[in-house]
């Protein structure tokens, strides 16, 4: 999501004649787009700011520092205190103002730090993204912002505000713009895309499945993905979309967080492990080649050994292709940070190690099992070696081939011949 926001920021600047600097020493403006999902990410910004301070002190011309994103939203007061040399602080729903603010800073040499942290999501998307500077084969497209779910560990509802779905015509226009610039694969983004409910072309409301059908009709689009799904909102319509839309990948990120009903309840996830299994089964029934990835949190307050064992059991049952896992990290103004029975760092580390061993093992097996199979690979860049090209298959696995006549953006049928440490190696089949 930050990657998409950064792209929008650079489009806004480029649209009014600014250019991307080759190095920080040539820059007049530096924008830090920040994350605050875990503490580490947001503390890192202060060390980055320390480095920028010394460049600013040495620079003779403009050196405007703007901090945007979730950490800016959450910790604007800390930034003002600890880094008063920052010129502007903008929350994630205020990035559309960045160009006007920077122009003002350059013209009027404003001394006080400018702070905009309004939560009006609609303003962010009121401006269409006409001047798209994207050149990648694969791009993100935000269809929904904010979140209403208030999982008890999560800071997002406080940083990005309430859920807001963009309307279908804006999304289609943006997708067409991207495709006209050479984009072949679009990943739709939202904190909870399965509850997408945007204004449809006929003035009604459109759900995620319908939106996918609309986008699949756009000429030139070769692949569609979406993330993140919330298990409580996955329904039959999305399973049907997976069965019927050829360009929709059979790979779904379906974060479960924990395999224990006790923990899920305390997390306020609003589904049980049994319901999660039903979801997985329904999707697999509609696409037998469906694979899954997930997020996990270990050491949530009150998580017992038995709760943790249930998570391991769930992992064994589902068999994931890929996963992201984290130690629970208390965040400001979240319910879980105030819960009793916080788990010690040692226990969290030990559980994370056990969980990651299992997940890594599943991922390696998933990769190993790919040998001998054929995939549609979308080529995204040249490799390090001569005539080597690297792409991604339907399951987002990196695949490299040696070939003579491949262009970036081509999709080709590739038979996997071996696995490398973080990728697959294959040969093009005609
Ligand atoms: N909206 C998405 C993901 C949001 S954040 C969803 O509901 O799945 C991405 C991931 O970060 C989460 O899935 C969760 O696993 C992790 N995460 C969020 N808050 C966290 C916290 N306080 N401590 C550790 N991990 C956290
Ligand atoms: Fe955070 Fe839960 Fe919303 Fe995801 S669904 S963004 S984890 S509150």
CA of 222 to the centre of ligand 2 (A): 30
Q: Is the CB of 264 under 6 A from ligand 2?
A: no
Compute the half-sphere exposure of residue 155: CA atoms within 13 Å on the CB side of its CA. Answer: 22
What is the best residue among 149, 161, 326 to mutate for testing ligand 2's pocket, by most ligand atoms within 8 Å of CB? 149
Span 15-25, average pLDDT: 89
Q: Are 161 and 191 in contact (CB under 8 A)?
A: no
Beta strands in 322-423 (DSSP E): 322-327, 374-382, 388-392, 398-402, 411-419
Q: What is the pLDDT of residue 370?
A: 97
Percent of the chain with pLDDT over 70: 98
Q: What is the pLDDT of residue 150?
A: 96
CA of 185 to the centre of ligand 1 (A): 25
* Check whether domain 374-428 has CATH 2.40.50.140, yes or no: yes
Q: Are 281 and 273 in contact (CB under 8 A)?
A: no
Q: Whose CA is nearest to atom 4 of ligand 2?
A: 191
> Confidence class of residue 215 from pLDDT cuts 50, 70 and 90?
very high
> Confidence class of residue 194 from pLDDT cuts 50, 70 and 90?
very high
Number of H helices, E strands in the chain: 14, 19
Where is pLDDT greater, at 134 or 151?
A: 151
Percent of the chain with pLDDT over 90: 86
Ligand nearest 195 Cα, by number? 2
Q: Is the CB of 157 under 6 A from ligand 2?
A: yes
Q: What is the pLDDT of residue 130?
A: 56
Q: Hey, do 122-369 and 374-428 end up sharing a CATH topology, with the first three levels equal?
A: no
What is the best residue among 39, 42, 149, 297 to mutate for testing ligand 1's pocket, by most ligand atoms within 8 Å of CB? 297
Q: Whose CA is nearest to atom 19 of ligand 1?
A: 154
Span 215-221, average pLDDT: 97
CA of 157 to the centre of ligand 2 (A): 7
Backbone angles phi, psi at 141, to 5 degrees: -140, 110
Inform me whether the pLDDT recorded for 121 exceeds 90.
Answer: no
Q: What is the pLDDT of residue 75?
A: 94
> Confidence class of residue 68 from pLDDT cuts 50, 70 and 90?
very high
Backbone angles phi, psi at 66, to 5 degrees: -120, 130
Q: Decide the pairing of beta strands 185-189 and 138-142.
A: parallel
CA of 192 to the centre of ligand 2 (A): 7
214: Cβ–Cβ under 8 A, 6 or more apart, which residues? 168, 172, 201, 206
Q: What is the pLDDT of residue 109?
A: 77
Q: Are 132 and 17 in contact (CB under 8 A)?
A: no
Inform me whether the pLDDT recorded for 59 exceeds 80.
Answer: yes
Q: What is the mean pLDDT of the chain?
A: 94
Taking only the tens place, the pLDDT of each residue in 219-254 is 999 999 999 999 999 999 999 999 999 999 999 999
Question: Closest Cα to residue 39, out of 330, 289, 307, 320?
Answer: 330
CA of 155 to the centre of ligand 1 (A): 9
- Separation between Cα atoms, residue 276 and residue 310, nearest integer Å: 13
What is the best residue among 69, 258, 326 to mutate for testing ligand 1's pocket, by most ligand atoms within 8 Å of CB? 326
Q: Whose CA is nearest to atom 18 of ligand 1?
A: 154
CA of 77 to the centre of ligand 2 (A): 24
How far is CA 22 from each of CA 30, 193, 232, rounded to the nearest angstrom? 12, 36, 45
Q: What is the pLDDT of residue 148?
A: 95
Span 12-35, average pLDDT: 92
Domain residue ranges of the chain, discontinuous segments joined by + = 2-118, 122-369, 374-428
Q: Which atom of ligand 2 is nearest to the CA of 155?
A: 1
Q: Which residues line ligand 1 (CB under 6 A)?
A: 37-38, 153-154, 156, 191-192, 228, 230, 255, 257, 295, 297, 326, 328-329, 331
Taking only the tens place, the pLDDT of each residue in 346-394 is 999 999 999 999 999 999 999 999 999 999 999 999 999 999 999 999 9
Backbone angles phi, psi at 314, to 5 degrees: -60, -40
> Confidence class of residue 77 from pLDDT cuts 50, 70 and 90?
very high
Q: Are 194 and 234 in contact (CB under 8 A)?
A: yes
CA of 151 to the centre of ligand 2 (A): 5
Question: Closest Cα to residue 76, out of 158, 140, 14?
Answer: 158
- The lowest-confidence range among 132-136, 382-386, 397-401 is 132-136
Span 201-211, average pLDDT: 97
Taking only the tens place, the pLDDT of each residue in 407-425 is 999 999 999 999 998 899 9
Inform me whether the pLDDT recorded for 111 exceeds 60.
Answer: yes
Taking only the tens place, the pLDDT of each residue in 245-303 is 999 999 999 999 999 999 999 999 999 999 999 999 999 999 999 999 999 999 999 99
Q: Are 293 and 251 in contact (CB under 8 A)?
A: yes
Q: Whose CA is nearest to atom 13 of ligand 1?
A: 295
Q: Which atom of ligand 1 is nearest to the CA of 149?
A: 7
The CATH classification of domain 122-369, taken from the options 3.40.50.300, 3.90.25.10, 3.80.30.20, 2.120.10.30: 3.80.30.20
Q: What is the pLDDT of residue 372?
A: 97
Q: Is the CB of 336 under 6 A from ligand 2?
A: no
Span 154-166, average pLDDT: 94
Q: Are 330 and 336 in contact (CB under 8 A)?
A: yes
Backbone angles phi, psi at 118, to 5 degrees: -70, 155
CATH dotted code for 2-118: 3.40.50.12160
Inform me whether the pLDDT recorded for 344 exceeds 70.
Answer: yes
Inform me whether the pLDDT recorded for 201 exceeds 90.
Answer: yes
Q: What is the pLDDT of residue 25?
A: 86
Q: What is the pLDDT of residue 421?
A: 83
Q: Is the CB of 231 under 6 A from ligand 2?
A: no
Q: What is the pLDDT of residue 430?
A: 78
Q: What is the pLDDT of residue 134?
A: 60
Q: Are 415 and 372 in contact (CB under 8 A)?
A: yes
């Amino acid at each position: 999501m930050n990657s998409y926001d950064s792209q929008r920021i650079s489009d806004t600047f480029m649209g009014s004649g600014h250019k991307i600097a080759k190095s920080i020493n040539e820059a007049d403006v530096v924008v830090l787009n920040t994350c605050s999902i875990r503490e580490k990410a947001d503390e890192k910004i202060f060390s980055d700011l320390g480095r920028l301070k010394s460049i600013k002190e040495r620079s003779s011309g403009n050196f405007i520092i703007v901090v945007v994103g979730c950490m800016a939203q959450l910790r604007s007061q800390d930034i003002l205190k600890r880094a008063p040399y920052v010129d502007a602080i903008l929350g994630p729903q205020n990035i559309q103002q960045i160009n006007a603010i920077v122009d003002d800073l350059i013209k009027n040499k404003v001394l006080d730090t400018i702070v905009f942290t309004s939560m009006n999501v609609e303003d962010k998307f009121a401006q269409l993204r006409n001047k798209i500077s994207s050149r990648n084969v694969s791009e993100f497209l935000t269809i929904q912002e904010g979140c209403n779910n208030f999982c008890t560990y999560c800071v997002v509802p406080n940083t990005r505000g309430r859920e807001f779905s963009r309307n279908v015509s804006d999304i289609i226009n943006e997708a067409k713009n991207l495709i006209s610039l050479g984009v072949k694969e679009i990943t739709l983004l939202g904190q909870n895309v399965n509850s997408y409910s945007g204004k449809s072309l006929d003035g009604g409301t459109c759900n995620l499945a319908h939106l996918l059908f609309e986008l699949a009709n756009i000429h030139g689009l070769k692949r569609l993905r979406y993330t993140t799904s919330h298990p409580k909102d996955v329904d039959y319509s999305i399973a049907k979309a997976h069965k019927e839309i050829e360009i929709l990948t059979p790979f779904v990120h379906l974060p479960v967080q924990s395999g224990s009903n006790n923990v899920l309840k305390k997390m306020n996830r609003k589904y049980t492990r049994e319901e999660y299994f039903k979801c997985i089964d329904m999707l697999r029934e509609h696409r037998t080649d469906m694979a899954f990835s997930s997020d996990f949190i270990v050491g949530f307050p009150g998580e017992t050994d038995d709760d943790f064992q249930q998570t391991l059991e769930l992992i064994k049952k589902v068999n994931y292709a890929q996963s992201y896992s984290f130690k629970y990290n208390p965040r400001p103004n979240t319910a879980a940070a105030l819960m009793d029975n916080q788990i010690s760092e040692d226990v969290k580390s030990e559980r994370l190690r056990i969980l990651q061993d299992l997940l890594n093992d599943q991922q390696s097996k998933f990769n190993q099992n790919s040998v001998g199979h054929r995939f549609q690979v979308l080529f995204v860049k040249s490799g390090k070696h001569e005539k080597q090209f690297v792409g991604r298959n339907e399951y987002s696995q990196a695949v490299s081939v040696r070939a003579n006549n491949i262009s970036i953006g081509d999709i080709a049928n590739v038979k996997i011949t071996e696995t490398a440490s973080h990728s697959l190696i294959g040969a093009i089949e005609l």
